[in-house]
Amino acid sequence: MKNESDTIVAIATPPGRGGVGIVRVSGSNSRLIGEKFFKAKSLSFEHGKMFFGKYSGSVEDTGYLVFFKSPFSYTGEDTVEFHLHGSPFILKSVISDIVESGLARLAGPGEFTKRALFNGKVNLIEAEAINTVISAENSYQAKVLSSLSGKLSDYILSLKSKLVSSIAFLEAQIEYPEEEETENALNDTIPLVEESVNSLKKALNYYEKSRFLFRGVKVVIAGNPNVGKSSLLNAIAGFERAIVTDIPGTTTDSIEVEIEFDGINFVFVDTAGIRKSEGKIEKLGIEKTYKQLEEADLILYLFDPLQLSAEKENFNLPEGFDKFTDKVLKVLNKVDLKDIPYFEGIKISAKENRGIDGLLNKIGSYFKNRDISENFLFSDRQYFALKEALSILEDFLDYAKGDFFPEVGASFLSHAIEVLEGVVGEITTDDILDSVFGNFCLGK
């Protein structure tokens, strides 16, 4: 069990060599750690002030110390930051000095933000945004993200208030059966719910179009066996302008390569071969492959000119691909061996490293040109919560089509609200009553 009041330490600047490197310490021992390892002329630990001096532990380096007094720091706890030279060696030594002193332990991933959240310095959505920014390792993503957290809170609040007033109609009808003005509750409720449904659908769709920003682009390479899928993967991994970040071990049916290209993170996945001769992909029984295709943001479908029997051959996709057509990019491989002039997709030779540049550029622009300005979701958790709310509201509309009990309808709606508020915070049934009595004149 982690003790929430113990002191944690971590390097706060991005990994790698940089001008300045920051080590951040948060918790009750922060000041003690500062006193122990930093020598300055007048180290008074005044809040927010930078003290010039010298770090001295197992390494020595000149730099600054900044102290933030609780609760005015990022985490809400006493915080000390060492601003030193950005050498990984120095920073790592500082960390191990501090951890070895027993005054602090290494912070877990996102733990500073978690403390900020627990201390009420940020709300859940902001925390999520910050964490996404942190894990978004490049500037393009970070830039987009920073503006979203406020938008989401606003959206949830406005949706919630719409639903609360839609419930209010039903509640008034239930609680005051004898009042004349409560008669047409359902007629007032349905349009509000329909509006909410449409708005949720839009929001989800925006996210689906934009989520590559937050979790990277998943590109699945598909095609018949021996069309050169692995060669393409290798070519991408070896491409000079791509920064390869990770190549996990081979799994039974897929190999992945993660690269950063043009400011976007890509994961390329090589799937098991799909045999066209056997027709539908379901028949292949490789559920995993199908799942990969479903999750893909983009599918590269590879054709091998040597496998094509000249004129008759067209470049249709196998049957099961119907539902993916709008995210498929057709690629003709092995053009060094045989070119097919009328092929309209991208032509490459993975083996010879030909056309890889063009392929990546094409993929990059495919995503960069997307209009993502309307999106305001930035985590799958938010996405699935909204999706759940949508499905409950659709159930409601479905239910309202038949004969209708207002109390059952209200139960659907309050469930949807509950789910939505999980994204931001909480609501009590009092909100609903307030709404009832704000809008209706009722009394006993």
Partner 1 sequence: MVEFDVVVIGAGHAGCEAGYATAKLGYKTCLLTINLDVVGQMSCNPAIGGLAKGHIVREIDALGGLMAKIIDKTGIQFRVLNKSRGPAVQSPRAQADKVMYRIEMRKTLEETENLFLIQDIAQEIVVKNAKVEGVMLESGNFIKCQKVIVSTGTFLGGKIFIGDKCYPAGRTNEIPSLTLADNLKDLGFKLTRFKTGTPARVHRDSIDFSKMERQDGDEPPFFFSFDPPERKVEQVPCYLTYTNEKTHEIIFKNIHRSSLFSGLIQGVGPRYCPSIEDKLKKFPDRERHQVFLEPESRFTVEYYVNGVSTSLPVEVQYEYLRTIKGLENVEILRPGYAIEYFSIDPLTLKVSLESKEIEGLYFAGQINGTSGYEEAAGQGLIAGINAALSLRGEEPVVLGRDQAYIGVMIDDLITKGVDEPYRMFTSRSEYRLLLDHYTADKRLMPIGHRVGLVSDERYAKMLKKYETIEKYCKEVLPLSLKKVLTEGFFKVFSEIDKGKTPTFEKLLKRPDISFEKIKPYLKEDYNTSYFIEVETTVKYKGYVDRELKRVKKTKNLEKIKIPENFNYNISGLSREVREKLERVKPQNLAQASRIPGVTPASISIIYLALTKKKR
Which residues of this chain interact with partner 1, rule CB under 8 A? 1-5, 28, 70, 76-77, 115, 117-120, 123-124, 167, 171, 174-180, 402-408, 410-411, 414-415, 418, 425-426, 428-430, 432-433, 436-437, 441-444
CB of 407 to partner 1, least distance (A): 5
Choose between 116 and 281: whose C-beta lies nearer to partner 1.
116
Rounded CA-CA distance 217/215 in Å is 7
Distance of CA 298 to the CA centre of its chain: 17
Residues in Cβ contact with 252 at an 8 Å cutoff, skipping those fewer than 6 apart: none
Choose between 213 and 432: whose C-beta lies nearer to partner 1.
432
Rounded CA-CA distance 137/299 in Å is 24
CB of 174 to partner 1, least distance (A): 5
State the CB neighbour count (10 A cutoff) for residue 411. 16
Choose between 375 and 382: whose C-beta lies nearer to partner 1.
382
The edge-to-edge listing of strands for the beta sheet with 60-68 is 38-40, 50-56, 60-68, 79-85, 20-26, 8-11, 105-106
Burial of 186 from C-beta contacts in 10 A (0-12 / 13-18 / 19+): middle
Choose between 56 and 119: whose C-beta lies nearer to partner 1.
119
CB of 187 to partner 1, least distance (A): 16
CB of 178 to partner 1, least distance (A): 7
Rounded CA-CA distance 222/299 in Å is 7
CB of 8 to partner 1, least distance (A): 13
Choose between 139 and 428: whose C-beta lies nearer to partner 1.
428
Please choose, from the candidates 281, 273, 286, the residue with its C-alpha nearest in 3D space to the C-alpha of residue 229.
273
CB of 10 to partner 1, least distance (A): 19
CA distances from 261 to 178, 300, 414 (A): 67, 17, 45
Choose between 28 and 245: whose C-beta lies nearer to partner 1.
28
Q: Which residues pair with 244 in a beta bridge?
A: 259
CB of 36 to partner 1, least distance (A): 22
CB of 171 to partner 1, least distance (A): 5
Choose between 163 and 346: whose C-beta lies nearer to partner 1.
163
Choose between 27 and 223: whose C-beta lies nearer to partner 1.
27
> How many helices and strands, by DSSP H and E, does the chain display?
15, 14
Rounded CA-CA distance 137/405 in Å is 51
Q: What are phi and psi of 27, to 5 degrees?
A: 135, 180
